[in-house]
Each structure stands twice: as structure tokens, then as C-alpha cells.
Chains A and B, each alone.
Chain A
Amino acid sequence: MSQPSLQNSDPSASQDPVQPSAALEASGLDSTVQGYVLQQMGTPPILRGLGLAALGLIVVGLVLGPTQMRNYGLVLVCLWAVYAMSVQGLNLMLGYAGQVSLAQAAFMGLGAYISTLLVRDAGLSYWLAMLIAVVVCTLAGALIGFPALRVKTHYLTFVTLGFNILITLVLRNEQWLTGGTGGIQNIPRPSFFGLELDTNVRYYYFCLIMLALVTIAVWFMLRSPWGRAFKTLRDNPARAESLGISVVSHTLLAFALGSGIASLAGVVYAPLIEYIEPAAFELPRSLMFLLMLIVGGRGTLAGPFIGAFLVTILPEWLRFTQEYYLALFALAVMALMIFFPQGIAGLGDTLRRKLIARR
């Protein structure tokens, strides 16, 4: 595992997670050498300093933000945090393990409904309900992944697509349990050891902390030997297998954890909006999560933050685009695929590579 070629996040080799072997074949040895050169050179200190400064500014802005924001803005940023969490889960599957899931919205919905129903009907505390919902959804993710992966890896995508439709059908039709299309209203905000999270400012900090915890957890996972095995898996499954990494069990684990993270996002989402309905968890939302990740930059920790920002907060800043925003976003997706398939967070890397190649 000490070979640099195993660890680098070589963009050209990871261009195509569906068929990594084809991408690797196309780029050949050259990309490995390039990646090695990149790693040896590292990031120029000035760029790294600028990046850290920008990150610091954003964090300070997020922490001090609520004093300057109205309720609407607060809820919007909370929504951003929830989406970013769900997309981070997808990032774990797609960006690092090379599996496309189209059921993130369904798992978010499952998390939201399971926790809400456990609090409302079984009288459990919100935190216990959160734990149960996440455990159930992680297991469900493994259960869905297992048979599909046994057959052929990218059939998992088709199965998750079907799963998302089936889940929303059940949420819609089982009125006695889920309230049908009307959904469930007046979901109470939880309290944390006596601290009521009832105001939007408090809930905002709660969302922020949850997002930070998820991100740190994903970061730790990726730095572990287990996470490095992931990347090898994505970049070259044949090589991974020859190194004794079990493709199926690793992919399955990534898939289960990503589903669990999506359900956690759903558990946080329900009391935020105080209202859940099946329409919020349908297939188009899952497709949107996928686009958020791709546009933001898969395989990078920052990608989900950028992608979620583009879909929740940027439309508010670009109010003048109004109803054209989604069409413009879709155009941007196509343009990005043509010119920068690594997404916005991968832009720096792409440029750096071009600079080094020219030198």
C-alpha cells in the first residue's frame, strides 16, 4: 500500500467509475506517472495557504452567520447542510467506491419517516429514533446491494432506481401509517439533554454540527487503510482484487454506509421542515443528488458542499434568473461534462495538471 500510485487521487484514472478499467486503459501508464509527479511536487504553499484561508472564512461565516440571517435564510442554510450530508453519503459510494446509487432520496425519506413515526407513535426519544433509523437503513442498504452486486456491479444502479420508486409508492399508498400524499405535519423539534432546539438558530447549529460530524467521519474512513482500499477499487478493480481486497464486501460496505448517511440526513430534515411528504423523496431528487455530486466534484470532500450550494443557496442569490435557474443549471451540467468532467472541486486539480504538463 505504500506505492504512491495506489493512493493518489488521479483524476484521469478515475474519470469513469462505471468502467474504471477502460479509463485506465485509455490514459495508460502516462497518467500514473503524471499522478506520481503531481504527488511529489505537492500543492504550491501559496495555493495551499489561500485554500486554507478561504476554508477558514467559510467556517467563520457559517458559525457567525445566524446573527445576520433571517429565518428564511437560516432554513435555507440548514437545507443546504442536509443535502450536503446526503450527497456526502453518495460521494462515499460513487466518488470513492465507484458505485452509483439512485436511492439516496429514498433512504433520506426512510430515515425521516422511520424516526418521525418512532417519536410520534412509539414515544421514543428523537436520538434513539435517529439511531434506530440509521441502523435500519444501513442494513437495508446492505440488503439491496448484496444480490445486485453478486450479479454485476452496475446493475446496482438499476436496482436502486427501482427501490426509490417502490419506497415512494409505499409512502404514498400506506395512508394508515404514513399519511399518504398529505404526509405528516407538525413534527416537533427535538431537545438535546434539556437544550430545546426549537428556534431556527439553534436548529441551524445542530444541522451544522451534524454535517461536520458526517464529514469528519467520512474523512477518517477515507484515511484508514480500508478507505484506501476503496480508492484502489475504484481506480482499478482488477489490481485491487489481485492485492487481496474483496471487491464485493468493500463495495457493499461503502454502499451500506452511504445509505446510512442519507437516512441520517433525512432524520435531521424532518424536524427542520416540521413536515414530510413522499414528493420530497422521489426519484428526481435522487437524480438531483447525483448531479450535485458530479457538478461539485466527486471523490473530493468539498464536492458535496459545492454541489448542494449550487442547488439550494445559489438560486436565491441569483433571484433574477427566477424560473430559468434549473434550465441554466442543466445547461451547466452538460457544459461541465464536456469541458471539466471532474466537477468544480476538481477544477484546481485539472488546471494544476495542465500547468505541470506544460512546464
Chain B
Amino acid sequence: MAEKSALQTMPAASALGTSAWKDSNLEPFLQLLISGIATGAAYALAAVGFALLWQTSGTINFAQGEFVSAAALMMVAAMHLLGVGPLVAFVIALPVALVVFGVVFKQVLVERLLKRGDFALVIATLGLSIFIREVSRLVMGAEPFAFPAIAGDGVLRLGSLVISVNDVVTIALVALIIALLQLFLKRTFVGRSMEATAQNTEVARILGIDVDRMILYTFLLNAALITVGALLITPKYQAKFSNGEALGLVAFMAAIVGGFNQVRGALIGGFLIGVLDNLGAYYVSTTYRSAFPILLLVIVILFKPEGLFGRKEERKI
């Protein structure tokens, strides 16, 4: 009973309900929560990029997950060929990702398809996802590669609590990136122009904003976000050509759950899915762990289709 009262001081824990507790133990819960937040943080980066693309250009990027896995494989290639660590590999991979997933993706594919409507673009990005996956397999093979964590394998011990240093670094890094992103979007002229483009493209154009340039910036921003996401998430899953499938799905679900039209929606959606995945696997069922995010998705679609934190959009006819 003493433990029960300790729980009540934690709102998140008491919300879960006591029946879900296997052995009324706080430590595994906190540990899972923290590693779930760390995983979710990396998901959130991909989801935020996904939502930004959707907001500014109406692009539903089905190849987002493949972007992440391809960025990870680029870093693996850099590490193997040059014998450098993950951070140097990141610095090498970033410009490549900016060019390929930012400029080339936007200018060659999106630019030509936007005027055909979003359905053609969805199909084309679906084709692109298969293309990237196949090329990754042809170049890097089908075997997974180990991927070192940027902060190593160390652990922090707080009493009986064991926390991975890398998880803490991941969370801190993502928090920093999101804070910088928000500052950029809210405080700088370019950022505010991008926001304006996202909120209402026509009005932004009337106000004299170079909309096409802002859309290009969004694609560059997305490329940077997925490369950081790849750096942070890949140590958990290893680098493999086929990882993009699951990752893309998570980014997609996070964006829908949180709300397509809000950066913070996609952000919280990413965290929610990371945490739900970890806690669900431990407390309910390991074999059905990938069902929890989907159930969340379906519930959100049925009861709050604009997303948990999204705005309602008026129908345009």
C-alpha cells in the first residue's frame, strides 16, 4: 500500500491504473518511460519533418522512413570507408542528405507532381520508397550493420534506477533541436515566412513571400531532421536497408496522432508512440507491441480526426 501512495504523486503513473502493474514496481516503469521517451524523441524528429512537408507543400512523403534508413546507411558507409566515428560520419552525411533528400527530391519529383494533385505525389513517393530501399540493398547488401551510439554504452545509476547515458543525451539533444527549431520558426524572418507559407500559401504569396523558396527550405529542414533522427535512432535498431518501412510508418502515425498541421502535434505524437511501444511491450504483450500505436491511431481517427493537438481544418470545396 505504501507503494500505491508513492504512485499517486506521479500523475503519469497513476493514469495507467494499478491493474497494469505486474509487481507494483516503480523502477522498470521509470526505466521504460525514459528509454521510451528517448526512442520517441528520435521518432519525433522524423514526424516533425513529415508534418512540415505536409504543411508547406501538401506532400505526404511515403519515403520518409527510407530517407532515415538511407541516411543511416550513408553514415555506416562513411564509418567503414574512412574509419571515423558516428559524429564525423554525421557531418559527412548531412550535406549529402541535404542535397539528395532536400534539393533533388524537391526539384525533380515534388516540383513536377504538385500541380498534378497530392494523389500522384503519394504514389510517386511510394515508388521512391521502394527505389531507395532497393538501391540501398544493392549497394549495402541485406545484412544489418551495427551502429555505435553517440554517447557510448555507459549507464547512470540513481539508486536502483539504471538509465542509459545515450538515452539522456538523445532526449537533451532533441529538446535542444526542437527549441532551436521553434525559435527559428517564431523569431526569425525566414522562419516566420515559412510558418506563413505553411498556414496559408496564397496569402503568404500575396504578402510578397517567396513561397517556392520557403518550400525548398522546408525540404532542407526535413533532410536535416531525418539525418539527426537517423543518428539517434539507428543504434537501437542497427542499420538495415529495410528499416525504413517501420520508421516511415511511425513518422506517419505520429503525425496523424498528434495532428498533421502542428509541429508540436507531431512532436508529442512521436513521444507518445515511443512510450506506448515500450510500456505496452512490457506490461501488456510483447508479441503485440506494434499493435498499440495502430490502436491509438484508429482511436484518434475515429474520435479526434484532426489529431490530439491539431486544429480543425475547414473543408475547401
Residues on A lying within 8 angstroms of B by beta carbon are 15-19, 21-23, 26, 147-148, 151-152, 155, 158-159, 161-162, 165-166, 169, 172-173, 238, 283-284, 287, 290-291, 294, 323-324, 326-327, 329-334, 337-338, 341
Please tell me if the beta carbons of A19 and B117 are within 8 angstroms of each other in the complex: yes
Residues of A within 8 A of B291 (CB): 165-166, 169
Tell me if B290 and A22 are in contact (CB < 8 A): no
Q: Are A331 and B305 in contact (CB under 8 A)?
A: no
**Chain B 241-270 interface residues, beta-carbon cutoff 8 Å to A:** 245, 249, 256
Would you list which residues of chain B between 115 and 140 have a CB under 8 Å from chain A? 116-124, 126-131, 134-135, 138
CB-based contact B123/A155 at 8 Å: no
Please measure, in the bound complex, the distance between the C-alpha atom of A307 and the C-alpha atom of B287, giving whole angstroms: 35
- A147 & B302 in contact (Cβ 8 Å cutoff): yes
| Residues B120 and A324 in contact, CB atoms below 8 Å apart | no
- What's the Cα separation between A337 and B130 when bound, in Å? 15
A337–B131 CB distance below 8 A: no
Evaluate contact between A173 and B290: CB separation under 8 angstroms: no
B288 adjacent to chain A (CB < 8 Å): yes
Nearest-neighbor residue (CB-CB) of B286 within chain A: A173
Closest Cβ neighbor of A168 among chain B residues: B290
Cβ distance B262 to chain A, nearest Cβ, rounded Å: 17
Contact call B116/A337, Cβ cutoff below 8 A: yes
Bound: A337/B122 CA distance, A: 10
In the assembled complex, the CB of A102 is this many whole angstroms from the nearest CB of chain B, namely: 10
Q: Are B118 and A334 in contact (CB under 8 A)?
A: no
- For A94, the closest partner residue in chain B by CB is B119
Jot down 5 A-B pairs with beta carbons below 8 A, ordered by A: A162-B298, A165-B291, A329-B130, A330-B127, A331-B127
A291 to B291: give the CA distance in the assembly, Å. 25
Selected from B112, B117, B124, B129, the residue in CB contact (under 8 A) with A18 is: B117
The residues of A that contact B131 with a CB separation of less than 8 Å are: 327, 330-331, 334
Is B294 part of the contact surface with A, judged by Cβ < 8 Å? yes
Contact A341:B298 (CB < 8 A) given known A151-B305, A173-B287, A326-B134: no
**Given A165-B294, A327-B134; 20 other pairs, CB 8 A cutoff:** A15-B119, A15-B120, A18-B119, A19-B119, A26-B117, A155-B305, A158-B301, A159-B298, A161-B249, A162-B298, A166-B291, A169-B291, A291-B123, A329-B130, A331-B131, A333-B127, A334-B131, A337-B120, A338-B113, A338-B124
Closest 6 CB pairs of A and B: A333-B127, A16-B117, A330-B131, A327-B134, A330-B130, A162-B294
A341 CA to B115 CA, complexed, in Å = 12
Q: Are B123 and A333 in contact (CB under 8 A)?
A: yes
Residue B297, interface by CB 8 Å: yes
- Given contact pairs A327-B134, A333-B126, A334-B109, A21 touches B294 in the complex (Cβ within 8 A): no
Q: Is the CB of A18 within 8 A of B317?
A: no
Q: How far is the CA of A294 from the CA of B122 in the complex (A)?
A: 11
User: Most chain-B Cβ atoms within 10 A of its Cβ — which of A18, A161, A326, A330?
Assistant: A330
Partner of A151, one of B130, B295, B302: B302
B302 x A334 contact (CB < 8 A):
no
User: Within the complex, what minimum Cβ distance (angstroms) separates B303 from chain A?
Assistant: 9
Q: How far is the CB of A209 from chain B (nearest CB, A)?
A: 32
The interface bits of chain B over 276-291 (1 if a CB of A lies within 8 angstroms of the residue's CB, else 0) are 0000000000011011
Query: Which residues does chain A contribute within 8 Å of B126, judged by CB atoms?
Result: 287, 290-291, 333
Separation of A17 and B118 alpha carbons in the complex (Å): 10
The dominant DSSP class at the B interface is helix
Count chain B residues whose beta carbon lies closer than 8 angstroms to a beta carbon of A: 37
**Known A-B contacts A148-B301, A151-B302, A162-B297; A169 and B123 likewise in contact (beta carbons under 8 Å):** no
How many angstroms between the C-alpha atoms of A287 and B316 in the bound complex?
Answer: 28
Query: Which chain B residue lies CB-closest to A169?
Result: B291
Q: Which residue of chain A has its CB nearest to the CB of B112?
A: A338
- Give the residues in chain A near B256, CB-CB below 8 Å: 158
Asked if B305 and A16 sit within 8 Å, CB to CB, the answer is no
- Kindly supply a per-residue 1/0 record for chain B positions 81-118, scoring 1 wherever the CB is within 8 Å of any chain A CB and 0 otherwise: 00000000000000000000000000001001100111
Kindly report which residue of chain B lies nearest to residue A148, judged by CB atoms: B301
CB distance from A146 to the nearest CB of B (A): 11
Contact B119 A166 (CB under 8 A): no
Give CA–CA (A294, B112) in the complex, Å. 18
CB distance from A105 to the nearest CB of B (A): 14
What B residues does A18 contact at CB under 8 A?
A: 117-119, 122
Residue of B119, B124, B134, B291 most packed against chain A (CB within 10 A): B119
- CB B312 to nearest CB in A, in angstroms, measures 11
- By a CB distance below 8 angstroms, the chain B residues around A169 are 287-288, 290-291
Q: Contacts A152-B305, A334-B127 given: A17-B287 contact, CB under 8 Å?
A: no
Chain A nearest CB, measured from B254 CB (Å): 13
Q: Is the CB of A16 within 8 A of B112?
A: no
B127 near A166 with CB under 8 A, answer: no
- Output the least CB separation between A3 and chain B (Å): 21
Do B301 and A155 have beta carbons less than 8 Å apart?
A: yes
